């Protein structure tokens, strides 16, 4: 069946299947703002986008805002402005300003602090841009910034210099120079489509881009970086996954930061992707007061495996201007890795990286297991601190 010719009735029944897989689909109706919303509207990603919370007044109807947040919302206007999907709003604790999901979505006054070592573009992506929308850092792979928009704007966003709701060109020819560059550069075997969030584009726009990249014979591997399974799971529709499947091998990396993000609804979205044969990986940003405790990070990794997402990276929070309040010491990340490796399934252990300021790429950091090395002899320690010798 070609999903593009689904009748309106079939579309409704596909949505109804999704809704019926939720045990308590009416949860959102407990929020007074949404009490009259039809489940079919709630499940419509365009409806979710149209109804994003972007003002202090709307938000205050649901969340008891702190003075810090009120100031943050005021100051974030025009920069990485606030936008929260109704779905995400249902996950926020309206009473607790330390709620990890709330802190990722609602700006606070500290965002406007200008600290000396923070930068606008710490990874020097703008310097490594050989064609519009393209970042070429590693010899064999490129990053294509397909859009500046996202479903929700994360307060810790590294690309906050670019990302936000702006009028952007949506002419399909805007990627011509990028596509031509990839075509001319035969070393490029891997194209990572990110942004912003590529899944915020319409299916046809995504397909148009995938088609053009797939037509380049030396591109072996395609991946899409997204956060919509977490911030707008309704976006993962049967029509989208059926389209994506045609461009296999296509991998999807999903930005997850906290175990509470893995809801039943999120699981349905990830299941739809995984059931279509799309391998899923995760990317997590280490954030102070959000996921900087080993037991929270371990729980997140376990929950990811349960929804068939393989933990891929934990990032040290980049020194981007306005994110000081989110950053932890590097030792916090190393300690988390120490508490994962050996203590749980190897599949639950991502790689902790620092994306080198100045554009050096991702550098792995972690506990040191090699104690000494000399003349064909390695002295190692295991996860419990016991010492072993390996002779070459």
Active site residues: 137-138, 141, 150, 154, 157, 159, 318, 355, 362
Work out how close the CB of 128 gets to ligand PLP at its nearest, in angstroms, rounded to a whole number: 7
Residues 346, 340: Cα–Cα separation, whole Å: 8
Work out how close the CB of 252 gets to ligand PLP at its nearest, in angstroms, rounded to a whole number: 13
Of 109 and 280, which has the nearer Cβ to ligand PLP? 280
- Is residue 286 at the binding interface for ligand PLP, with CB under 6 A as the rule? no
Work out how close the CB of 221 gets to ligand PLP at its nearest, in angstroms, rounded to a whole number: 9
Q: Give the number of residues written for the chain.
A: 392
222 contact, one of ligand SF4, ligand PLP, none, CB 5-8 Å limit per kind = none
Token pair, residue 383, equals 């996860």
SS3 159: coil
- CA torsion, points 110, 113, 118, 122, in degrees to nearest 10? 70
CA distances from 168 to 24, 141, 146, 171 (A): 38, 25, 11, 9
Work out how close the CB of 254 gets to ligand PLP at its nearest, in angstroms, rounded to a whole number: 13
- Is residue 362 at the binding interface for ligand PLP, with CB under 6 A as the rule? yes
Residues in 246-275 that interact with ligand PLP by CB under 6 A: none
Binding mask 103-142 for ligand PLP (x = CB under 6 A): --------------------------------x-xx--x-
Q: DSSP string of 72-119?
A: HHHHHTTSS---B-HHHHTTS-SS-TT-HHHHHHS--GGGG---TT-B
- 189 torsion bin: left (phi>0), alpha (psi -120 to 50), beta (else): alpha
Of 102 and 159, which has the nearer Cβ to ligand SF4? 159
Binding mask 180-209 for ligand PLP (x = CB under 6 A): ------------x-----------------
Q: Which residue has the tokens 């040290």?
A: 316
Q: Is 285 exposed, middle or buried (0-12, 13-18, 19+ CB in 10 A)?
A: buried
Of 219 and 232, which has the nearer Cβ to ligand SF4? 232
157 contact, one of ligand PLP, ligand SF4, none, CB 5-8 Å limit per kind = ligand SF4
Of 49 and 134, which has the nearer Cβ to ligand PLP? 134
- CA torsion, points 228, 232, 234, 238, in degrees to nearest 10? -10
Residues that bind ligand SF4 (CB under 6 A): 150, 153-154, 157, 159, 163, 195-197, 227, 255
159 contact, one of ligand PLP, ligand SF4, none, CB 5-8 Å limit per kind = ligand SF4
- Is residue 143 at the binding interface for ligand PLP, with CB under 6 A as the rule? yes
β-pairing, 280-285 vs 250-255, is parallel
CA distances from 208 to 2, 146, 328 (A): 17, 12, 40
321 contact, one of ligand PLP, ligand SF4, none, CB 5-8 Å limit per kind = none
């Amino acid at each position: 069946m070609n999903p593009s010719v689904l009748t309106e009735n079939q579309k409704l029944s596909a949505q109804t299947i999704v809704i019926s897989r939720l045990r308590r689909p009416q949860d959102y109706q407990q929020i007074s703002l949404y009490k009259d919303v039809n489940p079919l509207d709630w499940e419509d990603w365009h409806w979710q986008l149209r109804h994003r919370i972007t003002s202090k007044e709307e938000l205050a109807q649901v969340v008891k805002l702190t003075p810090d947040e009120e100031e943050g919302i005021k100051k974030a206007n025009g920069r990485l402005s606030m936008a929260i999907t109704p779905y995400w709003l249902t996950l926020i604790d309206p009473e607790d300003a330390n709620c990890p999901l709330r802190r990722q979505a609602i700006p606070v006054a500290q965002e406007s602090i200008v600290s000396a070592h923070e930068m606008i573009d710490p990874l020097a992506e703008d310097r490594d841009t050989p064609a519009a929308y393209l970042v070429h850092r590693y010899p064999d792979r490129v990053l294509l910034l397909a859009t500046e928009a996202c479903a929700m704007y994360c307060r810790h966003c590294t690309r906050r210099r670019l990302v936000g709701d702006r009028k952007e060109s949506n002419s399909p020819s805007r990627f011509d120079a990028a596509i031509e560059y990839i075509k001319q550069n035969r070393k490029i075997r891997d194209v990572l489509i990110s942004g912003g969030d590529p899944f915020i584009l319409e299916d046809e726009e995504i397909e148009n881009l995938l088609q053009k990249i797939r037509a380049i014979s030396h591109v072996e591997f395609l991946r899409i970086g997204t956060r919509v399974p977490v911030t707008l799971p309704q976006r993962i529709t049967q029509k989208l996954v059926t389209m994506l499947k045609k461009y296999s091998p296509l991998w999807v990396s999903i930005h997850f930061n906290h175990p509470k993000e893995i809801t039943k609804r999120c699981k349905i979205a990830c299941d739809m992707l995984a059931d279509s044969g799309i391998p899923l990986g995760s990317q997590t940003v280490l954030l102070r007061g959000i996921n900087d405790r080993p037991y929270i990070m371990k729980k997140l990794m376990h929950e990811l495996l349960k929804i068939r997402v393989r933990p891929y990276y934990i990032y040290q929070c980049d020194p981007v201007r306005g994110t000081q309040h989110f950053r932890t010491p590097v030792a916090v990340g190393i300690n988390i890795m120490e508490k994962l490796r050996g203590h749980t399934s190897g599949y639950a252990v991502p790689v902790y990286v620092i994306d080198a300021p100045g554009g050096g790429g991702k550098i792995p950091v972690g506990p040191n297991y090699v104690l000494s090395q000399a003349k064909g002899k390695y002295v190692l320690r295991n996860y419990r601190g016991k010492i072993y010798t390996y002779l070459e």
